[in-house]
Amino acid sequence: MILEALNFAATWPLTSATHRPFIRSSVNLWARANRCASAWDDHERRTKAAIVTAAEGCRQRRTVVVLGSGLLRDVPVIELSRLFDTVVLVDLVHLASVRGWLAVKRLKNVRLIERDLSGLDALLAGEPLEPLAFLRQVPYLDFVVSANLLSQIGIGVARRLGGQPAEDDRMRQVIAAHVEGLAQLPAKTCLVTDVSYAVIDRNGLKHESQDLLHGVDLGTSSTDWDWPVIPFGEESPDYRIVHRVTVR
């Protein structure tokens, strides 16, 4: 708890007032990732490998943008900084622990941008839903990564709408807008996302499952794997929650 409090306090002055309400959830994720490091290792390794493979296929390697850079546990920042002239990391919050790690590694070609990638504010205001339109202003953009972000956009929308009647439809709209936004980019893209989850007991029986993309079709994936987001003992000794991850 002490380390979490310190990370929160150090991140507060580094974060814009608009995004400070999201610091707590980022710190909670950081703490969970540390507790579940062993269970998450395979997922993080596979995500990094998928991103590096896609990056190495870029004909030009000037600027790469990572959407949902988060804790950087699943983002091969060092490899990207070697492959590209500029690496841009985009997320709601960049924790002090993440900033400190980048400073220690002396990755001088890495830039941080604070941004809400959901597009929900535009949707609620009746404006065009183009959450990735800002990427058109990024010079020499050759590669864009969406790193385990897509399902979180839908979850964030659900939290903000608080069970309103149009919640499911709006979740579907913002998820579809992200996928469409990636497809419209002139740059090469790599989408890594969890698409569903299942609650499984110690006997291997599935008690609950859910489509995290709410019916949005991603098309054919290049590879898939399971990610035990909540292993046995994290929330209960009797069940674990496993997410299905896909790369496109």
pTM: 0.94
* Residue 67 contacts residue 149 (beta carbons within 8 Å): yes
DSSP string, 96-115: HHHHHHHHHHT-TTEEEEE-
Residue 166 has pLDDT above 60, yes or no: no
- What pLDDT does residue 167 have? 64
What are the pLDDT digits (tens) for 138-149? 999 999 999 999
Report the C-alpha gap between 135 and 55 in whole angstroms: 17
What are the pLDDT digits (tens) for 200-238? 999 999 999 999 999 999 988 889 999 999 999 999 999
- What pLDDT does residue 124 have? 83
* Residue 77 contacts residue 87 (beta carbons within 8 Å): yes
Residue 9 has pLDDT above 60, yes or no: yes
Report the C-alpha gap between 74 and 94 in whole angstroms: 15
- What pLDDT does residue 101 have? 97
Average of per-residue pLDDT values in the chain: 94
Q: Which helix (H) or strand (E) holds 191?
A: strand 188-201
Q: Mention every residue, 6+ apart, whose C-beta is less than 8 A from residue 179.
A: 150, 191, 216, 218
In this predicted structure, which of 35-39, 61-65, 166-170 has the lowest mean pLDDT? 166-170
What are the pLDDT digits (tens) for 52-103? 999 999 999 999 999 999 999 999 999 999 999 999 999 999 999 999 999 9
Query: Left (φ > 0), alpha (ψ -120 to 50) or beta: where does 204 sit?
Result: left
- What pLDDT does residue 39 have? 97
Q: Could you give the dihedral angle defined by the CA atoms of residues 100, 228, 156 and 96, in that order, rounded to the nearest 10 degrees?
A: -10
Residue 8 has pLDDT above 80, yes or no: yes
DSSP string, 146-188: EES-HHHHHHHHHHHHTS-TTHHHHHHHHHHHHHHHHHH-SSE
- At residue 20 the predicted structure's pLDDT band, cuts being 50, 70 and 90, is very high
Taking residues 22-38, report their average pLDDT: 96
Report the C-alpha gap between 246 and 115 in whole angstroms: 24
Q: Which amino acid is at 223?
A: T
CB atoms within 10 A of CB 231: 16
Name the burial class of residue 101, with classes exposed (0-12), middle (13-18) and buried (19+) by CB atoms within 10 angstroms of its CB. middle
Domain 2-190 in CATH 1.10.1660.10? The answer is no
Q: Which helix (H) or strand (E) holds 84?
A: none
Report the C-alpha gap between 97 and 84 in whole angstroms: 24
